Structure 1
Amino acid sequence: MAIDVSSLWTRLSSKPAGKWLFSRLVCLRAPYFASISPTITELRPGYCRVKISKHRSVLNHLGSVHAIAMCNMAEVAGGMLTEVSVPRTHRWIPKGMAVQYLKKATTDLVAIAEPVTLAQWPDAGEFEVNVKVEDRAGEAVFNAVITMWVSLKKTA
């Protein structure tokens, strides 16, 4: 049985600790995401916002948020945006990611994912998602463009 992520978000996000619980459920489905302890704070077709705290497990040897932690954060945001944006008749998988590290990330971070363009969903094709990561002051520290491969689900 497939989970309708949009419905689950709608049911949980307005409840006390609902966004935290939803985010933990996402991490159960994709365990590597748990390494950054993300919290999805906004989610709708065409938009996703994810927060992480600066804590020991995401730091590099310089005491700033590790580059790969920001890549992981971008994939959470881009993947959740894609999940709630594509029709239920389609599936998706990340195909590639181009990143830019703009400055040291020394605070808690927020990733904001938005599509390059809202797609008309063909049988199969690429869908690009822009993700910007900002520090607590709202300054960009990281940008990514994630290419998703979207295709029709196989029928049984």
Structure 2
Amino acid sequence: MAATNRLAGIVSKINQLPDFARSRALSLFFGKAIPFTGTAGIRIESLDDSHCVISLANKRRVQNHIGGVHAVASMLLAESATGILVGLNVPDDKVPVIKTVKAEYTKRAKGDMRVEARLTEEQKLRMRTEDKGDTTVAVTIHDGEAKEPIEFEMVWAWVSKKR
């Protein structure tokens, strides 16, 4: 992964660690940088500038009243995975901002949750070259039974830090 900004440079260095240490180091780093992800217990399984996989164990601190992962916790997963990808690709003089979040809960989720987010080469190029813009980041979520209980639409924008 070519470093396009400071965040990408840090992630690139962490990704050089041995496999057994990489996920823990990424999770700790983002847990410190974005405290709510650390509080919730989000685990970053893999990360590069095009693809992010994160998970959340179905533990009491993130459960709803029926013992599943709370709706807001699942939203946190989708927002985190997509936001991390956008953050890795916008230059340091831009700031990523969530613009639209849509969620359709189609099935009851069971067990732990796992999210995958992806960016295309075209999306990455736009983020790196356009002064401002927005894009829909592809994201899927799977529960402990490998079902997709929620359909997300996450639209991210990037704007100049200077107004």
Task: Please state which band the TM-score falls in when normalised by the shorter chain.
Answer: 0.7 to 0.9
Aligned Cα root-mean-square deviation (Å): 2.2
Paired residues in the alignment total 153
Residue 150 in structure 1 maps to residue 158 in structure 2: yes
- Tell me which of 143, 148, 157 is aligned to 1:140: 148
What is residue 125 of structure 1 aligned with on the other side?
Answer: 133
TM-score by length of 1: 0.85
Kept in 2: contact 1:46–1:118 (CA 8 A): no
Q: Secondary structure at the match of 1:17?
A: helix
Deviations 1:28-72 (A, max 9, x none): 222222232111112122211101111111111101111000001
Deviations 1:55-92 (A, max 9, x none): 11111110111100000111110111111122344321
What is residue 97 of structure 2 aligned with on the other side?
Answer: 93
- Tell me which of 2, 7, 12 is aligned to 1:5: 7
Q: Secondary structure at the match of 1:146?
A: strand
More strand by share: 1
Gaps of 5+ in 2: none
Kept in 2: contact 1:74–1:131 (CA 8 A): yes
Q: Secondary structure at the match of 2:123?
A: coil
TM-score by length of 2: 0.82
